[in-house]
Homo-oligomer: A and B are copies of this chain.
Amino acid sequence: MVEKAFQDYYPDNFSYCYGCGRLNEHGYQIKSYWQGDESVCVYQPEAYHIAVPGFVYGGLIASLIDCHGTGTAAAAAYRAEGRLMDSQPPLRYVTACLHVDYLKPTPLGSPLELHGRLIEIKGRKVKVAIELWARGEVCARGEVIAVKIPENMMV
C-alpha cells in the first residue's frame, strides 16, 4: 500500500494551488508526509529554478516552505482533532504570515528536503517551523503561520 501525501487528501476544489495542487499541471505538485512527528517533503528543482547559476532560486524555497507549511498545518490540525485526513468537513489552511531566513546558498542539482514541525495550534491559527536541507546541510529555515481558509476564498 502506498501512503497518500497530505495534498492527495485535499478536496478537488482546493487542489489547484500552484505549489501543492495535484490538479495544477503547471505547478510544483509537492507531496508531504509524516515521519513520526515531523512532516517531510522532497522536491527536485528544475535546472531553471536558479538565483544565479548553480544555486536554487529563493522564491522557490519560499514557495516550498509556504506549501509544505500549510500542508503540515492541515495535517497537524486533523491529528489534533483525532481525525483522519479524509474525514469531513475538510480542514484547509492558507498562509497569513511567511518568514524565511536564507542561511546559505542552496546548491542546485540534488533534491531539497523539507522538514516541518508543529509549533502550536491556537484557534484558527497553526504555527509551523520548517527546515530546508540540501546535501546534508540546512540551507534555509522558515516559519509559517497558517489560518483556516476564510469564507471569501471558498468557491
Residues of A within 8 A of B (CB): 13-14, 16-19, 24-27, 46, 48-55, 57-60, 62-64, 66-67, 94-102, 105, 149-150, 152-155
Residues of B near A13 (CB, < 8 A) are 52-53
Partner of A102, one of B19, B98, B155: B98
Additional pairs, 15, CB under 8 Å, beyond known A13-B52, A54-B153, A94-B102: A14-B52, A16-B50, A16-B52, A17-B50, A18-B60, A25-B48, A27-B48, A52-B155, A58-B63, A58-B95, A62-B62, A62-B66, A62-B100, A63-B63, A105-B150
Q: How far is the CB of A52 from chain B (nearest CB, A)?
A: 6
